[in-house]
Amino acid sequence: MGEVDTKGVVLLDFWVSPFGQRCRIALAEKGVEYEFREENLGDKSPLLLKSNPVHKKIPVLIHDGKPVCESLIIVQYIDEAWPDCAPLLPADPYARAQARFWADFIDKKIYECGTRLWKLKGEGQAAAKEELIGILKLLEGELGDKKYFGGDAFGFVDIALVPFVSWFYTYETCAGFSIEEAAPKLVAWGKRCMERESVAKTLSDPHKVYEFVGLLKKRFGVE
Amino acid sequence: MAAEEGEVRLIGAWPSPFVLRPRVALNLKWVEYEFLQEKFGEKSELLLRSNPVYKKIPVLLHHDKPVCESMIIVEYVDGAWANSGHAILPADTYERALHRFWAFYIDDKWFPSMFGIAKAETEEAKAESAEQAWAGLKLLEEAFEKLSKGKAFFGGDTIGYVDIALGSYLGWAKVIERMTGLKLFDEEKTPLLAVWAGRFCAHEAVKEVMPETEKLME
């Protein structure tokens, strides 16, 4: 990663990105002041290209000129760089391993499956829908009756998943099903998370997400 | 550090690069463990119970509690036996982020290009995958220069997180080199990594568990 010339904390991001939102929520939980820079993904800034030459993607957190890339790596970095308040990962190594496992699962599954759900039609979409329901039910099982995935404290797995809550309306509308019916405890968890200022101020309005996906669909020629 | 009987078990299979990772980590920490070799083509009850989400190896069982996903297991071993052997992840927060970034890159981007060489059905496809793999290794060469700071490994004097991530693929890299006549870790293209590869395989924590090229070819 190319070191750059910025001071303080800068986040290169894109308004609707759930990956960027993970970082924003983590920074807010820690009370860290930072500069938010919205990237135009059709015309990426020289700063983005220099600080993430490998992937050229957002989000990128730049801390005193040093870039950190990949949203979950950024969240862990934030947790470790500002350790004195709001721990995002548990202290116990086994609990940390479990948190990393579920955050990684969310990372591998949700965005890709959700994207197929709005991009495809017919059988492809139906398959993606069933898969997404399976994923959400599995997560619901892992949540159980806990307040958050980490127990009483809002943490890493919650942060990994919660930005996708504002995409639920889009998934439901595109594929014609109800996530509340399929995974009611998860929807309840989402509402609890929205009571936190860090989450409420960060998540996109679900209708704006739907509009955004509508534009993507036009661009990809999906009807 | 001797573990109590049955305290640490690793479910795996000797040819798997993913299984090699926790084995190297446990060796670096001097942890004794029982290796439970899975039968080829058949998943054991224990595996299915311990990793119901993916049903894949490796799975580490520590006091019967399962940890899944190879690099997550490596990080777990680093934390659970923090007072033993050398640290696998660096102490510095920013360097830790760099190690995690490159380990993810290796699995997410580099491994598919290397595997693509083996899977390729045409000469063009093979050449294309090879170009991608070499381009990736060029990036990793630069990363090595930055992270090693002139020392032997990505982790400095001792094997670290990225060493384990990349080094675990060396057995299969050698097989691909034999099969195709292509040199992946080429002294001319990536001189530092070419030397590092030999050093990694010769390390005490690695040499007993790195699968032999001959056996993999069978």
Residues A97, A59, single domain; the answer is: no
Q: Is residue A87 in some structural domain? A: no
Residues A128, A207, single domain; the answer is: yes
Last residue of a domain, one of A81, A101, A133: A81
| Amino acid B216: pLDDT | 87
Domain with CATH 3.40.30.10 in chain B: 8-80
Bridge partner list, A26:
none
Q: If residue A108 lies in a helix (H) or strand (E), which one and from where to where?
A: helix A93-119
CATH of the domain at A49: 3.40.30.10
CATH 1.20.1050.10 fits B93-217, yes or no: yes
Residues A119, A207, single domain; the answer is: yes
Do residues B113 and B133 make contact, with C-beta atoms less than 8 angstroms apart?
A: yes
Residues A140, A160, single domain; the answer is: yes
What are the backbone angles phi and psi of residue A130, rounded to the nearest 5°?
-60, -40
For testing contact with chain A, the best of B98, B113, B140, B142 (most A CBs within 10 A): B98
Q: In sequence order, which residues have a C-beta less than 8 Å from that of residue A169 and are 6 or more positions away?
A: A206, A207, A209, A210
Strand order, beta sheet including B59-62: B34-37, B8-12, B59-62, B65-68
| Amino acid B102: pLDDT | 98
**How many domains does chain A divide into?**
2
Contact B97 A101 (CB under 8 A): no
* Long-range own/partner contacts, residues B110-118 (CB < 8 A, 24 or more apart): B110/B136, B110/B137, B110/B140, B110/B166, B111/B169, B114/B169, B114/B172, B114/B173, B114/B176, B114/B184, B117/B176, B117/B180, B117/B182, B118/B172, B118/B175, B118/B176, B118/B179
- B36's tokens: 């439970």
Residues A158, A212, single domain; the answer is: yes
Residue carrying the six token digits 């069982």: B61
Closest-CA distance of chain B to residue A74, Å: 7
For testing contact with chain B, the best of A30, A54, A62 (most B CBs within 10 A): A54
Last residue of a domain, one of A81, A113, A130: A81
61-90 in A: which are within 8 Å (CB) of B?
A: 63, 66, 68-70, 73-74, 76-77, 80-81
- B25's tokens: 């980590």
Q: Is residue A3 in some structural domain? A: no
In tens digits, chain B (218 residues) has pLDDT values of: 555 555 999 999 999 999 999 999 999 999 999 999 999 889 999 999 999 999 999 999 999 999 999 999 999 999 999 999 999 999 999 999 999 999 999 999 999 999 999 999 999 999 999 999 999 999 999 999 999 999 999 999 999 999 999 999 999 999 999 999 999 999 999 999 999 999 999 999 999 999 998 888 87
Q: Is residue A155 in some structural domain? A: yes
- Please report, as a single letter, which amino acid is at residue B172: W
Tens digits of residue pLDDT in A135-145:
999 999 999 99
Q: Full-prediction pTM beyond 0.90?
A: yes
| CATH code linked to domain B8-80 | 3.40.30.10
Last residue of a domain, one of A81, A113, A141: A81
Contact A77 B94 (CB under 8 A): yes
Chain B contacts of A80, Cβ < 8 Å?
93, 96
ipTM of the shown complex:
0.95
User: Can you tell me the distance from the alpha carbon of A72 to that of A18, in angstroms, rounded to the nearest whole number?
Assistant: 11
Q: Is residue A51 in some structural domain? A: yes
Domain with CATH 1.20.1050.10 in chain B: 93-217
Question: A182 to each of A139, A202, B39, how far by Cα in Å?
Answer: 12, 25, 37
Residues A107, A148, single domain; the answer is: yes
Residues A151, A66, single domain; the answer is: no
| Amino acid A220: pLDDT | 84
Q: Is residue A88 in some structural domain? A: no
DSSP summary character for residue A89: S
Alpha-helical (H) ranges within B157-203 are 161-167, 170-180, 191-202
CATH of the domain at A209: 1.20.1050.10
User: Can you tell me the distance from the alpha carbon of A174 to that of A148, in angstroms, rounded to the nearest whole number?
Assistant: 28
**CB contact, 8 Å: A101 with chain B?**
yes
Tens digits of residue pLDDT in A180-213:
999 999 999 999 999 999 999 999 999 999 999 9
| Amino acid A5: pLDDT | 82
Contact B80 A93 (CB under 8 A): yes
Do residues A146 and A99 make contact, with C-beta atoms less than 8 angstroms apart?
A: no
Compare all CA atoms of chain A with the CA of B105 and give the residue at the minimum distance: A54
Instruction: State mean pLDDT over A49-67.
Output: 97
Q: Is residue A2 in some structural domain? A: no
Residues A115, A69, single domain; the answer is: no
Instruction: State mean pLDDT over A96-104.
Output: 98
| Amino acid B217: pLDDT | 85
Using DSSP bridges, classify how beta strands A35-38 and A9-13 pair: parallel, antiparallel or unpaired: parallel
**CB contact, 8 Å: A216 with chain B?**
no
pLDDT at A133 over 70: yes
The residue segments making up the domain with residue A148 are 93-219
Residues A130, A213, single domain; the answer is: yes
Residues A142, A203, single domain; the answer is: yes
| Amino acid B18: pLDDT | 97
Tens digits of residue pLDDT in A3-55:
888 889 999 999 999 999 999 999 999 999 999 999 999 999 999 999 999 99
| Amino acid A223: pLDDT | 67
DSSP summary character for residue B153: B
Residues A175, A153, single domain; the answer is: yes
The number of beta carbons lying within 10 Å of the beta carbon of residue B140 is 23
Residues A48, A134, single domain; the answer is: no
Contact A97 B72 (CB under 8 A): yes
